[in-house]
Chains A and B, each alone.
Chain A
Amino acid sequence: MEASITLKKVGKLVGDKTILANLTFGIEKGSLVAIIGDNEAGKSMLLRVIAGIEYQEYGQIFINGLDSQKRRNEAMLSVGFVPHELDLDPWLTLEENIRFIGMLYRESMETINTRMVQLSRELHITTFLQKMVKDISPGIIKKGMIIRALIHNPDILILDDPTAFMDAESYRQTWDMLLRYKKEKTIVYVSQSLQEVEEAHDRILVLEDGKIALDGSLDRLLGSTFEYHQFQIEFEELSDELFNKLAKLPKVKNPSRIGDSIHFYGQQRGVFFEVLNAAASSVMKDIRVKKLGLQDLMDAKYAKDGIH
């Protein structure tokens, strides 16, 4: 597959602090890439650097094969960017804000109007187009920002927390639209919602201290890191003898004890039945089985140490 965005040894400094360190990766055309990480991991800065809002001190970024610094104006034609903060001019209407950016990209008025109407219908904000931005709720403004980013029909859409400030209905409408554009556009986004990332991605980049800690689809990340299930059994009385007996079962990983409950991990569900057999003579009050997800992956203990 052809690369839409390519980073080669990209580094970014703010003062003397390294925000992005030696990042090298490519993003394929038509893919949906989610970037996650802790606060201060460098997610938003990575988006800003790719979108051309800030230059990188080191390395090169290629947008559709064009060096984003040397051929900035051509490269930026292919990029639409939605920042995290609400940045529409409050003293213009939503329509004026969108139209102004469309005109800056030299789109004809007819094209701008056609696209604006089509996109605002898809996002259900047609009735807000004539309103001053200062009088509109943040969730609608965010939708307007997505339309503004799409008004010049870019190949690459870069979104910093695209559904921030949105209610459940707006969230669904926005993702319905973005997923429809997925095949024709490359979409790169940052989100604080791991559920959102689990639902919408081809690939996940986990950023940690400005470096890529993990890279791949959720299944692949979980598979390569730990394809485990999490188990918890609560007994009426969990004796030390019983806990030690269960903890020593070969397939039981990372056993721990909280009161009368035993908590452990196992690669297959089968391990659960082995534990049940071993503890059959004791009275059990509650059992829980959970397949690990992105939240568990992001948990610092497991992301850094894994399960041994």
Chain B
Amino acid sequence: MSAILFVILIPILLHLMLTTLMKNVFINSLDNIPYETWAFPGVILLICIMSAYAVLYRDLFDLRIHKKSFISITLAPYTKFYLVFGFLLSAIIESLIYGVLSMIILSLLLSQQLELHAYFAIPVYGSIFLLLFGNLTLTLSILTERITTFISITIILFFFMIFGTGILFEFEFYPRMLGMILSYNPFSLIISELRGLVFLKQINWVWIVIPVLTGLGWTWINGLLIKRSLKQ
């Protein structure tokens, strides 16, 4: 029941809160795309990260610190990289399912429909974005032992995801230097590339490969961190 509410209500609420409000402030993007349409991929990714965050919090923090069932899982005959990658993959798949369902619901509310290729590009690029975000959540889950620390850092990360990745706001509105620095972080690169493909039909493979390699490297580092944290 809560899952159905999550799938239906969250996209609608986000749409109402963000796009209907913000489109009065930002009417069009700098590429002259209506804000509501421009923000659409970002809103879907936002829904995906909410889902991934909940899944990874449960698996790597709650089940490790509170319920302890994570320990039994680590006894299985797999390397820690394999385990971390398994957790990430399941979180990405689960979140993409939420994302696709939200995309279907939100597309009904859009005044200007996206082209068909956009609906395929969002899940593909979304999975790279989720690989990065999942690793960020994993690192946080592994390195913190207390729920208070976890929540405090989560709030900071939430603001970073909203304002520091270009998910809802263009970096051109930021001070030039800050906007430039933020635009080169792997999260921003993949969102920027997604919008490039959806709205301009452009692909820059270098900016796609960098986030992918960053995500895989980060997964390997998380494997080492979990090994160190568990003292195994």
Name B's interface SS.
loop
Contact assessment for A53 and B69 in the assembled complex, using a CB-CB cutoff below 8 Å: no
A158 CB to closest chain B CB (Å) equals: 10
Contact assessment for A76 and B75 in the assembled complex, using a CB-CB cutoff below 8 Å: yes
Contacts beyond the supplied A55-B231, A101-B72, A105-B76: 6 A-B pairs with Cβ under 8 Å:
A73-B79, A74-B77, A77-B77, A85-B68, A90-B67, A97-B69
Contact assessment for B67 and A53 in the assembled complex, using a CB-CB cutoff below 8 Å: no
Q: Within the assembled complex, what's the spacing in Å between the Cα atoms of A81 and B74?
A: 12
Q: Within the assembled complex, what's the spacing in Å between the Cα atoms of A101 and B78?
A: 12
- At the interface, yes or no: A143 with Cβ under 8 Å from chain B? no
Neighbouring A residues of B54 by C-beta, 8 Å: none
Contact assessment for A88 and B75 in the assembled complex, using a CB-CB cutoff below 8 Å: no
Q: If A87-B67, A88-B69 touch, does A79 touch B232 (CB 8 Å cutoff)?
A: no
Closest 8 CB pairs of A and B: A104-B76, A87-B68, A73-B77, A54-B231, A89-B69, A87-B69, A77-B77, A76-B77
Q: Within the assembled complex, what's the spacing in Å between the Cα atoms of A57 and B167?
A: 46
Q: Within the assembled complex, what's the spacing in Å between the Cα atoms of A97 and B68?
A: 13
A101 CB to closest chain B CB (Å) equals: 6
Neighbouring B residues of A101 by C-beta, 8 Å: 72-73, 76
Contact assessment for B232 and A55 in the assembled complex, using a CB-CB cutoff below 8 Å: yes
Contact assessment for B77 and A52 in the assembled complex, using a CB-CB cutoff below 8 Å: no
Neighbouring A residues of B63 by C-beta, 8 Å: 89
Q: If A54-B231, A55-B231 touch, does A83 touch B77 (CB 8 Å cutoff)?
A: no
Q: Please classify how large the interface on chain B is, using the bins under 10, 10 to 19, 20 to 34, 35 or more.
A: 10 to 19
Q: Please classify how large the interface on chain A is, using the bins under 10, 10 to 19, 20 to 34, 35 or more.
A: 20 to 34
Taken residue by residue from 51 to 93, chain B's Cβ proximity to chain A (1 for < 8 Å, 0 otherwise) reads as: 0000000000001000111011111111100000000000000
Q: If A87-B72, A148-B72 touch, does A73 touch B78 (CB 8 Å cutoff)?
A: yes
Contact assessment for B75 and A79 in the assembled complex, using a CB-CB cutoff below 8 Å: yes
Q: Within the assembled complex, what's the spacing in Å between the Cα atoms of A104 and B73?
A: 8
Report B191-232 residues with CB < 8 Å from chain A CB: 230-232
Q: Within the assembled complex, what's the spacing in Å between the Cα atoms of A97 and B69?
A: 9
Neighbouring B residues of A34 by C-beta, 8 Å: none
Neighbouring A residues of B76 by C-beta, 8 Å: 76, 101, 104-105
B100 CB to closest chain A CB (Å) equals: 24
Q: If A54-B231, A89-B63 touch, does A104 touch B78 (CB 8 Å cutoff)?
A: yes
A244 CB to closest chain B CB (Å) equals: 59
Q: Within the assembled complex, what's the spacing in Å between the Cα atoms of A81 and B69?
A: 12
Name the one of A51, A74, A89 contacting B75, with C-beta atoms under 8 angstroms.
Answer: A51
